Amino acid sequence: MDVFGLVIAVIVLAASTHDNVAGTALLDKVAATTSGTVTKALVDQGLKKTVVDHGARLGIDVEIVQRNPADQGSVPQEKRWVVEQTNGTLMLHRRLVRDYEHLPASSESRVRWAMTAVMSRRLTRAPASSGRWT
């Protein structure tokens, strides 16, 4: 996602896929989609040096956002709250709450469909619905 909470690239993998494999695949997709306009990526602590090195090869500076060790419980990370907010907004779409799709490509298209609805609402400045999406 970008700084405005808009989806740049979507990748759907099995839950058993390691974070580093997913991060590498996502960086590849971002680099291919944006033609080098993305220069920095903020990631959580689940990703390791492999992803940082892969990002450097693609020309993307990958920064791992560290959690403050003094924080107790669930505390929003200052630089990553946009991602959490966008994920929450996307979960208002019924088809994204549960995994109804059989193919990863179908799941990716549902995320794009939901993001299109979010962008349309932002462009028209229409008020958000009551959370009931069809």
Query: What is the extent of the structural domain holding 89?
Result: 19-124
118: CATH:
3.30.420
Residue 82 lies in a domain: yes
Residue 132 lies in a domain: no
Residue 14 lies in a domain: no
Banded model confidence at residue 31, pLDDT cuts 50, 70, 90 = very high
pTM over 0.85: no
Residue 131 lies in a domain: no
How confident is the model at residue 120, as a pLDDT?
87
Q: Render pLDDT for 73-132 as a digit per residue (tens, 0 to 9).
A: 777 777 677 777 888 888 888 777 777 777 888 888 888 888 888 888 888 876 666 555
How confident is the model at residue 132, as a pLDDT?
54
How confident is the model at residue 7, as a pLDDT?
86
Residue 83 lies in a domain: yes
Which has the higher per-residue pLDDT, 72 or 32?
32
Q: Render pLDDT for 42-70 as a digit per residue (tens, 0 to 9).
A: 887 778 888 999 999 999 999 887 777 78
Residue 3 lies in a domain: no
Residue 11 lies in a domain: no
How confident is the model at residue 104, as a pLDDT?
81
Residue 39 lies in a domain: yes
Structural domains in the chain (count): 1
SS3 64: strand
Q: Name which of 39, 35, 47, 54 is nearest 3 in CA terms.
A: 39
Query: How many whole angstroms separate alpha carbon 23 and alpha carbon 13?
Result: 11
